[in-house]
Structure 1
Amino acid sequence: MATLSHCRWLITCAIVFPVLLARTNCIDIYHEWVVSLDSTIKPVSSPQPVITINGMFPGPLINATTNDFVHVNVFNDLDEPFLITWNGIQQRLNSWQDGVSGTNCPILPGTNWTYVFQTKDQIGTFTYFPSINFQKVAGGFGPIRVNNRVVISVPFGKPEAEFDLLIGDWFNVDYRVIRSSTQRKFPVYGAVPDVMLMNGNGPYGHPDSKTHESFTVTKGKTYRFRISNVGSFFSFNFRIQNHQMVLVETEGSYTNQVVLESLDVHVGQSYSVLVTADQDESDYYMVATPKLLNASDGSPLVAKGLLHYANSANTVSGPLPSGPDPYDIDFSVGQAKSIRWNLTTGAARPNPQGTFNITNITLSQTFILHGSITEIDGLPRFAVNNVSYLAPNTPLKLADEFVNGSGVYQLDVFPTQSINDAAACGASVVSGIHKGWLEIVLKNDLGIVDSWHLDGFGFYVVGFGEGDWTPESRASYNLFDPVVRSTVQVYPQRWTAVYVFLDNPGMWNLRSEHLKNWYLGQELYIRVNDPDPNPGKENPPPENVLLCGILEKSNAPSSSPVAQPSH
């Protein structure tokens, strides 16, 4: 680690320096990011501070190709510690770069740290965002594209252009005030967001919006929109006035191509849709409305942007495009079940996605996990099976590597199939069997649509159901063509079942993507360990590994080997 004044000269800002590697056919991509607070941006005329990257909100695009190595040198100009996580990038054999509190020490104010991760065997649409200190609610997020290698056929024609569309709820209050409020018995701030933004812009036509989002298209051309929910609270339904969308990809999987009038996108999720500019040359509304909330057309919680035809001389007209009833869970579940894996196309590899067949797999483990709200020591907490995660001062991954977890966490104390009798806090870590199939049943005891994300892997989304899950519920699973994605929704008072193949050794975070739930304890870690020192074993810690907690400075062991990830 080094100070900002000594390090900024080392790398030119946001350069891309290709180094062709014949053996792996990948390149090295270099970024330098300065993370800071800006009170002048005011997406909706409120003076709260916004977390920017190189002065940008949202942050810069990471544009990579399958198997590339991405180097991001992050300078922390905030007045508090900072980490970024790469939502959906699987970090093959390398949870050291995951950027969450269980794997990394934070980047302290006035210092920098360089992430190095590989987009190994991946394609698709993802995002990055701050993972600690409730900072995501203030910005610091941005888009990630992982493109196909040229030797891989894509199951649709090359679009005229691609657009990143980051949509999410936003608060008009300083994130530090909301953060403090969440830890009160009766929170003053942060119950419901104030506005919905598109790429950091307020709703079109709203009096508090300084700017609005607009995409220019040419009649007759087809465009790819990469849509991500970067909010902290609301699921939303997205649609475009007078235009249909063709769903083609979600979080690294090509889907069966489904024609949609509207699309539900839950917190943390990403999709790609194709939109053909096949209407009269005019301007058209692009709209995102929150789920489980009645918001009028003029509400700031209705995100509005424009699809602008290049030769249009007309402003938007008519009512906003209508969507499904925001309380119609059956619509949302039906759409979720219709999103299926395209079995015949390749993705990161030339062999078809359907090569990875799960109809005859043998389950090694089953976790039944209830997300709920509870009270501990008189304060609200969120929990999994009535255990609320409390992050230790020493990241779990460091403790695992250097002291076998001693004094930091106890392995497999967390109840994976039952609800703890009394609410408690703890550093929840469970064993995952390496190269075993794990079934996770996610039960939502809350009144919102929850979202769950697992770092390091993709979920095979096999089932949705009402009420209580039982082993007999497996008869309703789709084992033929379940879509694979890294973030899955769980509807109120319902369950979602997923399968995961645990072939990626490491310490991996399983969490609610709802920021308040995550911040107040709705998470755990899955330790996937391969004791065999073969090429499939996880990489050793990088040379620049940060040490903190019981390992800080002179307390750190010196016997463990360190090395940069090899190409």
Structure 2
Amino acid sequence: MAKCKDYGLATVFVCLCLFGVFSVPVTAALKKYQFDIQVKNVSRLCHAKPIVTVNGMFPGPTIYAREGDRVLVNVTNYAQYNMSIHWHGLKQYRNGWADGPAYITQCPIKTGNSYTYAFNITGQRGTLWWHAHIFWLRATVYGAIVIMPKQGTPFPFPQPYREANILLGEWWNNDVEDAVKQGNKLGMPPNTSDAHTINGKPGPLFPCSEKHTFAMEVEQGKTYLLRIVNAALNDELFFAIAGHNLTVVEIDAVYTKPFTTEAILLAPGQTTNVLVQTNQVPGRYFMAARPFMDAPLSIDNKTATAILQYKGIPNSVLPLLPQLPALNNTAFALTYNAKLRSLNSPSFPANVPLNVDRHLFYTIGLGINPCPTCLNGTRLTASLNNITFVMPQIGLLQAHYFNIKGVFRTDFPDRPPTPFNYTGAPLTANLGTNSGTRVSKVEFNSTVELILQDTNLLTVESHPFHLHGYNFFVVGTGVGNFDPSKDPAKFNLVDPPERNTVGVPTGGWVAIRFRADNPGVWFMHCHLELHTGWGLKTAFVVENGKDSDHSVLPPPKDLPPC
């Protein structure tokens, strides 16, 4: 896989980008990619198994583009599963048809069929990623998106000597979809993953994995940019490099005020760019990733490793292992996240909504519902404001655009129907959980403040929430119950971090703000695949503006049918 050399928009050029697909500039550069989704036998750990891959690669190919480009990705599905691809963090202005979540903005691509995702990259640069957005298939169907700044626009930090993509993931020795089906039959969570991975490889701390270690060769005295993605399904992950500090310069494709740290923390769905100076004694140093979990839940402490290897050092040299934060180091997690600040420079301002038109308060709950078809007679469930979301059988965006009745309701409550002591003593019963396809209608260009409050229904737990179609500002966060009389006075309205995915702290809350200037239907969900499957999700229907330039675009002719 080679990155196209850019000769500038004034010159018509042809170069091999990915798998024989050519790139030709028009008024802006046009990038074309072919994604063939297949089932391949891939050997990891101690045996081979068939997995779903894109173009035979695991992880899948990186999409390289530049701010201002138009990208076309033709996805052909050869796997036995229906498929959809989400371009995580791309705003898709007026163009939810290219967003990708199955049954939200499209029906899935059926086996043997194709669909072309066509989208513009406007006002964004940095590291994002793409992944399957149906079932648990993103366990193996994912890859990076690297968006370079416009020609002639430098990074707002020292130019790195080289770059590398670091994709953190999870691995199941058995078919992950079989594990999910078995868990659903029992009404319980499926088996946890068998390993964590760095660029698809677990590293030498796992059995039978000597040949499955990612290694990155570096030269002494240089600066490298690492584009790090947490593609894991269910685990927040610490990441560190032995002997080397990391300087954070970007999160979720938004530049930050730089700060240096020994380790970083990424929730599933988040990306972080760091600078690494190779200023240590030449040798071999482990890069490592392992989970963060400060809730009273069982988790396997699996550490994935890769190797940062100085040029000229033989492979026989034993790598040094970094000192990662403890599995339940809440203090590190809170301190690290508190250091994240938007750059807020003249070139990259933080346009935080200062006045709020719509105040929303959503509680996050886990529960146990009756399940006559489950072997245990009950099923674990999840809810927002006591509503467990039910996936429709037709895309919500289609139903909205064509005014198809009976697919969804727009009466999702702005706040929980029954207030209670959200993070007090554990509550083992549901508070009237209802199931339904209920969404919230939002006026175009209105400003929204949303408080996401964790609760102690069954247990407290951290929840990474992703909002499609938007970035938002994380203006406040805290542990315990949100206090509307005191906490807003502490909000950061100057340079809060701007993200597309935010972690709600265990037993705490987070406050986000955004301007609803992107019409369409936009999914919001916990990015723990386990909780998404249990119903911890909803959607916003953002109404059209007053003219056609602020209205949802017509659907493409090849939109997959239901």
TM-score normalised per structure 2: 0.88
Matches of residues 334-373 of structure 1 in structure 2 within 5 Å?
A: 334-344=335-345, 346=347, 352-354=348-350, 356-358=351-353, 361-373=354-366
Matches of residues 26-175 of structure 1 in structure 2 within 5 Å?
A: 26-39=28-41, 41-100=42-101, 101-137=103-139, 139-175=140-176
Matched AA of 1:407: G
3-state SS of the aligned residue for 2:549? coil
From 449, 460, 469, the equivalent of 2:462 is: 449
| Offset from partner CA, 1:299-321 (integer Å, 9 cap, x none) | 88101110011121364547521
Which residue does the alignment assign to 2:560? Answer: 546
From 430, 439, 454, the equivalent of 2:440 is: 430
3-state SS of the aligned residue for 2:193? coil
Deviation at 1:419, TM superposition (A): 4.2
What is the alpha-carbon distance in structure 2 between the residues aligned to residue 220 and residue 239 of structure 1?
Answer: 19
Matches of residues 262-281 of structure 1 in structure 2 within 5 Å?
A: 262-281=263-282
Which residue does the alignment assign to 1:313? Answer: 314
Matched AA of 1:353: P
3-state SS of the aligned residue for 1:434? coil
Change (3 A) 1:434 1:232: same
Moved more, 311-320 or 60-69: 311-320
3-state SS of the aligned residue for 1:330? helix
Deviation at 1:181, TM superposition (A): 2.4
1:465 aligns with 2:478: yes
From 509, 514, 517, the equivalent of 1:495 is: 509
Matches of residues 368-447 of structure 1 in structure 2 within 5 Å?
A: 368-378=361-371, 379-402=379-402, 404-411=403-410, 413-419=411-417, 421-445=431-455, 446-447=459-460
What is the alpha-carbon distance in structure 2 between the residues aligned to residue 447 and residue 171 of structure 1?
Answer: 26
Moved more, 369-378 or 95-104: 369-378
Instruction: Say if 2:70 and 2:120, in contact at 8 Å, map to a contact too.
Output: yes
| Offset from partner CA, 1:18-52 (integer Å, 9 cap, x none) | 2230xxxx21111111101123x122224443221
Instruction: Say if 2:257 and 2:342, in contact at 8 Å, map to a contact too.
Output: yes
Instruction: Say if 1:376 and 1:424, in contact at 8 Å, map to a contact too.
Output: no
Deviation at 1:245, TM superposition (A): 0.9
What is the alpha-carbon distance in structure 2 between the residues aligned to residue 419 and residue 208 of structure 1?
Answer: 53
Change (3 A) 1:172 1:345: farther
| Offset from partner CA, 1:241-263 (integer Å, 9 cap, x none) | 11111111111211001011110
What is the alpha-carbon distance in structure 1 between the residues aligned to residue 346 and residue 206 of structure 2?
Answer: 43
Deviation at 1:325, TM superposition (A): 2.5
Change (3 A) 1:520 1:310: same
Matched AA of 2:474: V
Which residue does the alignment assign to 1:553? Answer: none
Instruction: Say if 1:367 and 1:440, in contact at 8 Å, map to a contact too.
Output: yes
Deviation at 1:185, TM superposition (A): 4.0
Instruction: Say if 1:333 and 1:464, in contact at 8 Å, map to a contact too.
Output: no
What is the alpha-carbon distance in structure 1 between the residues aligned to residue 202 and residue 310 of structure 2?
Answer: 21
Instruction: Say if 2:286 and 2:319, in contact at 8 Å, map to a contact too.
Output: no
Matches of residues 257-336 of structure 1 in structure 2 within 5 Å?
A: 257-292=258-293, 301-313=302-314, 315-317=316-318, 320-336=321-337
Change (3 A) 1:60 1:424: same
Deviation at 1:265, TM superposition (A): 1.0
Deviation at 1:177, TM superposition (A): 1.1
Instruction: Say if 2:198 and 2:306, in contact at 8 Å, map to a contact too.
Output: yes
What is the alpha-carbon distance in structure 2 between the residues aligned to residue 293 and residue 315 of structure 1?
Answer: 37
Deviation at 1:369, TM superposition (A): 1.4
Aligned length: 517
Moved more, 522-531 or 532-541: 532-541
Instruction: Say if 1:63 and 1:144, in contact at 8 Å, map to a contact too.
Output: yes
3-state SS of the aligned residue for 1:258? strand
| Offset from partner CA, 1:491-528 (integer Å, 9 cap, x none) | 11111111111111110000111011112211101011
Deviation at 1:152, TM superposition (A): 2.4
3-state SS of the aligned residue for 2:335? helix
3-state SS of the aligned residue for 2:202? coil
Matched AA of 2:414: T
What is the alpha-carbon distance in structure 1 between the residues aligned to residue 547 and residue 107 of structure 2?
Answer: 26
3-state SS of the aligned residue for 1:333? helix
What is the alpha-carbon distance in structure 2 between the residues aligned to residue 270 and residue 316 of structure 1?
Answer: 31
| Offset from partner CA, 1:475-494 (integer Å, 9 cap, x none) | 12111110111000111111
What is the alpha-carbon distance in structure 1 between the residues aligned to residue 391 and residue 352 of structure 2?
Answer: 37
Matched AA of 1:38: K
Which residue does the alignment assign to 2:23? Answer: 17
Matched AA of 1:338: K
Deviation at 1:281, TM superposition (A): 1.5
Structure 1: give runs of 5+ residues left out of the alignment. Answer: 1-10, 347-351, 549-567
What is the alpha-carbon distance in structure 1 between the residues aligned to residue 449 and residue 325 of structure 2?
Answer: 32
Moved more, 301-310 or 316-325: 316-325
